Structure 1
């Protein structure tokens, strides 16, 4: 079998073909077009090809798969794939040869290839984001033009901005200057509303998106963005891996005994990360009683670590529906409720997307940070069912209460009988620390 590495670019691509023993069979530059790639690779026997994940990688991979080849789209952030490439000299020819050698050695990490449905959803979200950014820039420009003449545009929603500008008494020349921007804003509002309606109808039809919309302060746009980024939940082993994939975990540079953690990594899809942060800010500023426990938990983190860290922590742990009353259902009823609601809570389960058959629940752990009542920012089910298992609640570790005496202070060494004369130590007139009991007697 031949091993082929293709360094794909917008106009031209570099192809390197290695034989069975690793010798270079062909190195050629070809136009990134279906016809040119077919002329070069369609007549060759079945080979294994390696591409880097990029904008053009998906249609190139599908084109090569139609020719009968085995195609792997690799993660370009995987450093061992470029172990044989010189860092001082970088060319497309060397990159293609490095990819071919990595394909032969298996030194690559396959990237996830998004399904067609999620790719189209990402395209709709990208178009909507571009329209929203254009509207924001236009509104800022109109506000600046109005401020030059003295008046100010009242605050409000973006959809009603044109009406608020038209209500102002402005000079005719200024109105003529702003007319193109105001007409553009009207058209942008119509297009954004049309896309929002499409996403809302899609969220109502899709069962998974409808479940995501049950999370407080999560709407169709955030649900569609999250689902399009995750695509296949089973490729994540747990919630922490998903948080790292979205760039919501702190960066770390540790070595030996030194450990340093910095800001969040901000890797992955920036659109989803921004939407989750916005949802967390909206939840933190809200006043709904069903999310009071989450606000209290975030306020405690904000008092200890700062507001920004509390917002990120809240974005990592979206709220979940509250279980029914324990008095009505009992322990067995809550266990049964866990099994019934597991597909609803797939957002933060340990094994994403798994929907077990209804039955007796296994041992469940509900992690409720700082919440006195039953609530579920995050929960998990053990993989092996345990018959007759009970429901447990994890609480924050608390410091044990102090007791009187030297035992409560481990840093105080008890004095040895007869070791020193009186209360003086060997180092001078410094006195040994007294026990808590003796201090209380002295204070009396």
Structure 2
């Protein structure tokens, strides 16, 4: 006997999960099942009870609780989908929001196929992504610590010598030795300096951990191939692969550009087309490393020593794509610069175009036959 199908909407929070069930068979009502603790055992009991009567498919919104529930439900044999909260349809006049309403809405929309699933990484891939995001957070902490130190010295009337470029060894030596009138100010300076030094050492250590993880990862070939691009280091390539996941889920480079939030927003009607700032949707980590890498294309095309070493052993098709990228992206940079475009806009435009070449390289590696 074929079981009746139900769609289960889970409104997930740190402590609780509110559950609603949408029946597929007439009269297709939606039931509120109440709220249960966000713990594995209550979830298991609920799904076991539902699975005894129905063919269950469930969903919840991506959020701070991660993918633990998804993996638990999958291990129980329950179909589960994590959906994009930013793409859940909203009614213009709906101004009341409660957990029960959200669960009912998820169940109803999931039944009608109006929700957009997100890609769920496997645990190993998620661990690599956590590592690259830790490195990004450490770099952000270092930037803030440097600002605190430099602004403190500025308030104290300490101006570095002109030959000491910011955060070079000469600049750090000057920072450490500059005399201050008050002993307490010296104590403050030393503490700020030690924080900068500690965070710098932390980033160096994390860079090595990421390099080791990338070399032993199942994605090692993809990461090495992306490093054939100018401006793409091992850290950058690992972040790219960790953030966008399986390249096959993007049908083309434009879809990947949209995922990175680098496409312009648009508000068009009839014969009028209005484009605005980039959407900034998707992964901010991905967008940041792409923009940073795009700065390299202000220079003329060149195969330097470091880039040649990164390209050793890579397929000729990949190296041709990387060289074509250098030529095209530098031309784009120069053309926009000649039109007096703002530097920030130029770099973002180059980053968007760069995504197409990165997609082509990763796609080439995905389609290539792995060596025995």
TM-score by length of 1: 0.67
Distance of 1:34 and 1:48 partners within structure 2: 18
Which residue number in structure 1 is paired with residue 240 of structure 2?
226
1:61 is matched with which residue: 60, 70, 78? 70
Match of 2:101, SS?
Answer: helix
1:113 equivalent to 2:120? Answer yes
Distance of 2:63 and 2:340 partners within structure 1: 38
Which residue number in structure 2 is paired with residue 50 of structure 1?
59
Distance of 1:316 and 1:131 partners within structure 2: 26
How far is 1:166 from its partner? Answer: 1.3
Contact conserved, 1:212 with 1:347, CA < 8 A, in 2?
Answer: no
Distance 1:148 1:67, change over 3 A: same
Gaps of 5+ in 2: 304-325
Which residue number in structure 2 is paired with residue 140 of structure 1?
147
- The aligned runs of 1:202-241 (5 Å cut-off) are 202-205=213-216, 206-241=220-255
Question: Alpha carbon RMSD of aligned pairs, Å?
Answer: 2.8
Contact conserved, 1:203 with 1:209, CA < 8 A, in 2?
Answer: yes
1:2 equivalent to 2:6? Answer yes
Distance of 2:151 and 2:263 partners within structure 1: 38
- The aligned runs of 1:218-367 (5 Å cut-off) are 218-284=232-298, 286=299, 289-290=302-303, 291=326, 294-304=329-339, 306=341, 307-318=343-354, 347-348=359-360, 354-355=366-367
Distance 1:64 1:277, change over 3 A: same
Contact conserved, 1:254 with 1:260, CA < 8 A, in 2?
Answer: yes
Contact conserved, 2:129 with 2:239, CA < 8 A, in 1?
Answer: yes
Which residue number in structure 2 is paired with residue 34 of structure 1?
40
1:167 equivalent to 2:139? Answer no
Once the two structures are overlaid, the 10-residue window that deviates more, 159-168 or 108-117, is: 159-168
**RCO (CA 8 Å, sep 6+): is it higher in 1 or 2?**
2
How far is 1:288 from its partner? Answer: 5.6
Distance 1:210 1:259, change over 3 A: same
Gaps of 5+ in 1: 321-344, 359-444
How far is 1:173 from its partner? Answer: 2.9
1:179 equivalent to 2:179? Answer no
Match of 2:50, SS?
Answer: coil
Alignment deviations for residues 394-425 of structure 1 (CA, whole Å, 9 cap, x no partner) = xxxxxxxxxxxxxxxxxxxxxxxxxxxxxxxx
Distance of 1:353 and 1:43 partners within structure 2: 45
Distance of 1:272 and 1:62 partners within structure 2: 25
Distance of 1:66 and 1:261 partners within structure 2: 45
How far is 1:2 from its partner? Answer: 2.8
Distance of 2:221 and 2:167 partners within structure 1: 31
Contact conserved, 2:329 with 2:354, CA < 8 A, in 1?
Answer: no
Once the two structures are overlaid, the 10-residue window that deviates more, 154-163 or 100-109, is: 154-163
Distance 1:265 1:24, change over 3 A: closer
How far is 1:350 from its partner? Answer: 10
How far is 1:260 from its partner? Answer: 0.6
Alignment deviations for residues 41-98 of structure 1 (CA, whole Å, 9 cap, x no partner) = 3333151112112222411111122223111112223344x56x96122211111011
Distance of 1:2 and 1:124 partners within structure 2: 38
1:11 is matched with which residue: 11, 15, 19? 15
Contact conserved, 1:302 with 1:308, CA < 8 A, in 2?
Answer: no
Contact conserved, 1:212 with 1:218, CA < 8 A, in 2?
Answer: yes
The count of aligned residue pairs is 331
Which residue number in structure 2 is paired with residue 194 of structure 1?
205
Alignment deviations for residues 265-301 of structure 1 (CA, whole Å, 9 cap, x no partner) = 11111122121111112331x4563546643431112
Match of 2:115, SS?
Answer: coil
